Structures are given as C-alpha cells and as structure tokens.
Amino acid sequence: MKVEFLDLGRQTTALRPELNLAVHRVLAAGRFVGGDEVDAFEQEFAAFCGAGFAVGVNSGTDALELALRGLGVGVGDEVVTAANTCVPTVAAIVAAGATPVLVDPDPETMTLDPDRLEEALGQRTRAIVPVHLYGRCADMETIMRIAREHGVLVVEDVAQAHGAERSGRRAGTFGDAAAFSFYPTKNLGALGDAGAVVTNSRAVAERVRRLHAYGDAGDGAVERGRNSRLDPLQAAVLRAKLPYLDSWNERRRELAERYDAELSGLPLTLPRPSENGEHARHLYVVRSQQRELFRDQLARRGVGTLVHYERPIHHHPAYRSLARPGALDTSERLCAEVVSLPLYPELRDDELAWVVDAVHASLAHPRVASAPLRKSVGARGSGQP
Ligand SMILES: *Cc1c(COP(=O)(O)O)cnc(C)c1O
C-alpha cells in the first residue's frame, strides 16, 4: 500500500456537487469582487469562531500583516513571535513594517513559551503573535495576562487551528485580532489563496477593511493601503466547505487519538495530550532522534511524511539577523526532530493502520536497508519493541 502524506483530491471529489453549485452561483451572479458571497462568508466565519467580525483577505500572510496594521503596529515596533513557526508569520510582521523578535516554544506543546516571552518584551514591543502551531491553541490565558500587564497587543496566528478550543473559547477570539489562512491544505481550505482577519473590535475590523482596499473606504485614501481581497469564487467555495469543518476536525481528532494509542511506548515523542480544550489536529507531529533515518524507513514502506519545519526562522538566509545566540536552542532542536505523519479527514482507517504498522516496523528494524513490506495491514502486534 502507499499512503500519501495528503491527498486533497478526495475532499474535492466528495464535495464536487456542492463546489459546482457554489461556482455556478458566482458565475450566474456575475460579481467577481466583493458582494454577497464575500459578505455572507465573513458573517458565517465570524459566527463559527464566536467572534464579532471577519474580513476576508487574499491570504493568511496578508491577514497577519493587515491585522497588525489594523491595530496600528508598524515601523519602529517590535513584534514577538515563536522561532519554530513557518516563514509567513515573520514575513507578515516585516511586511507590516515592524521588527520580529523570536522566542523559543515550550518543547512539550511546541507553542510560544510564556516563560520565555517576558524576557523578550522590551521598550519597543508593540505586539505578540502566538502561533497555534499544528492545531494546538497556545497558552492564551497566560499570554494574554502577560500582554495586558505590559500593555502589548496580541494577534493570533490561527492559520493551522480553525475550530481549536481552549477553555471553551475558539482560537482567534483571545487576542485583539486573529489571522486565518485558507490555503488549500489548511483545516478549511479554498481552491487557491484566501485568508481572513477575525476580531471582536468594530474599529479594528473597519480599519482592516479600509487597508485591504487601498486605504480608501469611500472617502478618499485616508491611509496607505493594499489590495488584498477575498474573491467571491473562493468565498463561495469556503461557504460550501464551512458546514463540514467541525466534523472534519472531529475526524482529525479520532485519527490522532488512534495514533496516540497505537504509537505509545515507542522511541518517539508523541504530541502531548491537549489539556484544557480541543486540538484542531492540523498536523500529527512526532519527534524522532533519528528523523532522517525514520523518514527514509517510512518512505520505503510507502508512507509519505513531511517536516514542519526543517529550520527555525533564524536559519533562513533572509532572517539570519533575527538569531539570538543561546536563546533559541529549543527551536533548533525541535526543527531537527519533528516529523509529520499523514493525518487528514479523508485518511481511511486501513491507511492509518498501515502507517502504524510502518512506524512500528521502521523502529524495530531501523537499519535494514530495504525492509520487506508487511503483507497484512490488520495484523499488527508481533515483534514490536
Ligand atoms: C499557512 C500559514 C500561514 C500563511 O498562510 P498563507 O495563506 O499561505 O499566506 C501563516 N502562518 C502559519 C502558521 C501557517 O501555517
């Protein structure tokens, strides 16, 4: 058997009738920028999050940049974020005109470590961008308390955690604003690029709305804005998919729980159980001391894996200047150990069983150059360490 890391085609195929309807509706309406589809999606998505307002934009990266700018963060300001995030988080901070300051995550949750946060806050800190990495909500109670004590704003990066919860609240409703991505592989994915800023503040929503349309809300360009709109076509597609998001996340959790149960006791660090709320399980990320060998062994058994992410931000050529010697060791270590196993709502039970088998076999015979594939997927249980 071959288990791809992700097969997006399955969702598109399953939803084909609804997606066709959505696209036809937009073609029939003949409105290709703004309009009812976008307004309706913004309202439906804000309601899904339990937030007051959503503004559709062109991508998650733009959502972060515009959320920061909408809060007045810009040139001369420092914005603290996690060093183990992906590049767009930091690219957006830079695009807003601000200077990123990197902080290590908690190695257990892999989200921003509140203990490290305080050390990174200084005179110029204007905002914190916690990233709900892999679908786990960061420790928002503590982060918000620290932010309020220091008079600092918070923009959540929720690109990987649509529908995640903590203490009964959904990710994206803790901070002053939040940024979502609907990149096709996210928990809610468009058929192309799309994103949204979510906030409870009418003033912030209005400013983001102005900034995403050249800075002009009808009375001239009162500030220097961008063009970053959510297309009605993507809005219609997202509206077709949104009603499934909770059940997709539920299926992700079910698969993740099976991995948790069936991979325990192996020389792998499994994701820590999420306390205090629902994990959106965007990615199932384990840690291995011998990651490359492990990935290679899994590949030989037909299992696709990816690494999120190969390097911490400060090891990318464009961001070397953000290095903080000695302060980002955890990120560096995590980037060398993390590996993501296949996990998406359409992954079948027999495929998960195959992956579980392959993981056991890979760790039992790590040095066999070309291990034979196991014949029966269901018959795991022999010869495990
Ligand atoms: C995907 C992602 C982004 C960027 O979203 P785009 O829509 O690709 O611009 C930002 N932050 C995180 C954590 C992401 O996973």
Q: Per residue of the chain (385 residues), what is the pLDDT tens digit?
A: 999 999 999 999 999 999 999 999 999 999 999 999 999 999 999 999 999 999 999 999 999 999 999 999 999 999 999 999 999 999 999 999 999 999 999 999 999 999 999 999 999 999 999 999 999 999 999 999 999 999 999 999 999 999 999 999 999 999 999 999 999 999 999 999 999 999 999 999 999 999 999 999 888 999 999 999 999 999 999 999 999 999 999 999 999 999 999 999 999 999 998 878 899 999 999 999 999 999 999 999 999 999 999 999 999 999 999 999 999 999 999 999 999 999 999 999 999 999 999 999 999 865 444 444 444 443 333 333 3
Distance in angstroms (rounded) separating the CA atoms of residues 151 and 144: 10
My answer on whether 366 and 226 are in the same domain is: no
My answer on whether 217 and 257 are in the same domain is: no
Task: Among 243, 274, 309, give the residue marking a domain's end.
Answer: 243
My answer on whether 306 and 230 are in the same domain is: no
Per-residue DSSP letters for 92-121? HHHHTT-EEEEEPBPTTT-SB-HHHHHHH-
Q: Which ligand 1 atom lies nearest to the CA of residue 61? A: 9
Residue 73 lies inside a defined structural domain of this protein: yes
What local confidence, expressed as pLDDT, does residue 76 receive? Answer: 97
Distance in angstroms (rounded) separating the CA atoms of residues 302 and 120: 43
Angle at 258 between CA 257 and CA 259, to 5 degrees: 90
Residue 279 lies inside a defined structural domain of this protein: yes
Give residue 179's domain range.
7-243
Distance in angstroms (rounded) separating the CA atoms of residues 84 and 381: 35
Task: Among 203, 228, 243, give the residue marking a domain's end.
Answer: 243
My answer on whether 210 and 251 are in the same domain is: no
Residue 163 · residue 245 · CB < 8 Å: yes
Residue 51 lies inside a defined structural domain of this protein: yes
My answer on whether 166 and 306 are in the same domain is: no
My answer on whether 204 and 311 are in the same domain is: no
Q: Is the CB of 85 under 6 A from ligand 1?
A: yes
Query: How many structural domains comprise the chain?
Result: 2
pTM: 0.94
CA of 89 relative to ligand 1 center, distance in Å: 7
What local confidence, expressed as pLDDT, does residue 274 receive? Answer: 83
My answer on whether 178 and 275 are in the same domain is: no
Distance in angstroms (rounded) separating the CA atoms of residues 281 and 343: 8
Distance in angstroms (rounded) separating the CA atoms of residues 320 and 83: 12
Residue 291 lies inside a defined structural domain of this protein: yes
My answer on whether 105 and 233 are in the same domain is: yes
My answer on whether 284 and 229 are in the same domain is: no
Q: Is the CB of 181 under 6 A from ligand 1?
A: yes
- Nearest residue by C-alpha to atom 1 in ligand 1: 159
My answer on whether 223 and 250 are in the same domain is: no
User: In CATH, what number is assigned to the domain containing residue 203?
Assistant: 3.40.640.10
My answer on whether 266 and 287 are in the same domain is: yes
- Which amino acid does the sequence have at 131? V
- Residue 360 parent element (H or E): helix 349-364
CB atoms within 10 A of CB 87: 14
My answer on whether 294 and 209 are in the same domain is: no
Task: Among 209, 243, 277, give the residue marking a domain's end.
Answer: 243
What local confidence, expressed as pLDDT, does residue 275 receive? Answer: 79
User: In CATH, what number is assigned to the domain containing residue 258?
Assistant: 3.90.1150.10
Query: SS3 string of 157-170?
Result: ECCCCCCCEECCEE
